[in-house]
Amino acid sequence: MAKRFSVDEYADGILAGNRMVLSRAITLVESTLPTDQHLAQQVLDRVLPHAGRSVRVGITGVPGVGKSTFIEALGLELLRQGKRLAVLAVDPTSQRSGGSILGDKTRMNQLAAQEQAYIRPSPAGRSLGGVTRSTREAMILCEAAGHDVLFIETVGVGQSETAVHGMVDFFLLLMLAGAGDELQGIKKGIMEMADAVTITKADGQNETAAKLARREYQNALHLFPLAPSGWNPVVTTSSALTGAGVAEVWQVVEQYVEQTRQSGYFQRRRQEQNLHWLYEAIRQGLEEQFYAKASVQQQLPALRQQVLEGSKSAFGAAAELLGL
- Residues of the shown chain interacting with a second copy in the complex, contacts defined by CB under 8 A: 37, 41, 44-45, 48-49, 51-52, 133, 136-137, 140, 180, 183-189, 191-193, 216, 220, 222-227, 270-271, 274-275, 277-278, 280-287, 289-290, 303-304, 307-319, 321-322
- The answer to whether the CB of 140 falls within 8 A of the CB of 47 is yes
Nearest approach in angstroms of CB 322 to a second copy is 4
What is the closest distance, in whole angstroms, from the C-beta atom of residue 76 to a second copy in the complex? 31
Q: Find out whether 78 and 250 touch, Cβ atoms under 8 Å.
A: yes
Q: What is the dihedral of CA 161, 197, 220, 163, to 10 degrees?
A: 10
Which residue from 58, 55, 46, 43 is spatially nearest to 83, judged by alpha carbons?
Answer: 55
Measured from the CB atom, is 111 or 163 closer to a second copy? 163
Q: Give me the sheet containing 85-90, strands edge to edge.
A: 117-120, 85-90, 149-154, 55-60, 170-176, 196-200, 234-237
Of 1 and 318, which has the nearer Cβ to a second copy? 318
Q: How far apart are CA 68 and CA 200, in angstroms?
A: 11
CB of 313 to a second copy, least distance (A): 5
What's the min distance (Å) between Cβ of 29 and a second copy?
9
Nearer to a second copy, 84 or 133 (CB): 133
Tally the residues of the chain.
Answer: 324
- In the Cβ-directed half-sphere of 238, how many Cα atoms lie within 13 Å? 30
Which residue's CB is nearer to a second copy, number 113 or number 322? 322
Query: Toward a second copy, which CB reaches closer, 80 or 276?
Result: 276
